[in-house]
Amino acid sequence: MPEKEPQNQKSKIPDLPPEKVLTEPIQFKAIADPFRIQILELLTRQPLTTKQVADILDEVPARVHYHIKVLERAGIVQLVETREKGGVLEKYYRAVADGFSFDRSVGHFSDKERQDASTQAQNLLRSIFDEAIQSLSLDGKPPREKKTGMLSSGHLRLNEKQIAEFGKKIKAFVHELQIQEDPDGKLYRYALLFFPSENFKSQEPRNVDPSGQ
């Protein structure tokens, strides 16, 4: 379902912790859901009520409330403010961090939890891929308007220190763009996959000439 632009959307408020590392199966399951990802993206920008999130996503408030509670039980969003308006209590929720990552050590997962986590991750990746196909009209149908997008793929030989540095630079760049968002600009979705490529044939490291010659 297409996401509406928030009414009078504020620029991203840079007051959240930069990252929360998720370590429990309940957290992985909570965040590996396409609809909850949409909700979480909104709640990293500013505190919102269930009704406000539902209006932005053009969804039924009851459905949004259910998914926010799932995220809250997993410790991914939290209630940050309660206001009384017209005799009704408005509850404002906010993400607990600006970004989320997973502890790569899942040794404490049971076999079922490991399988569930894998299934959830596959479903999330499929939803991103399907959205990209629909948006960029890669299904063979002519686009109704000129659209721009980006697809980049390749391989890098990196050590643990370089991987950590790569992640920091990507997050810092995205954070900078979020702060400078154009309220009149088009809404884009981004997704970054970064994983060990076990099926790619090993090659000798490339000798790159910095001069480009």
pLDDT in tens, 82-97: 998 888 899 999 999 9
Query: Token pair 């504020």 is at which residue?
Result: 10
Number of Cβ within a 10 Å radius of residue 156: 10
Q: How do residues 152-210 score in pLDDT, each as one tens digit?
A: 778 888 888 898 888 888 878 887 887 788 888 877 777 777 777 777 665 555 555 55
- List domains and CATH numbers for the chain: 20-138 (1.10.10.10)
Select the more confidently predicted residue: 48 or 180: 48
This prediction's pTM: 0.63
pLDDT band with cut points at 50, 70 and 90 for residue 71 = very high
C-alpha torsion angle, residues 151, 29, 66, 59 (rounded to 10): 10
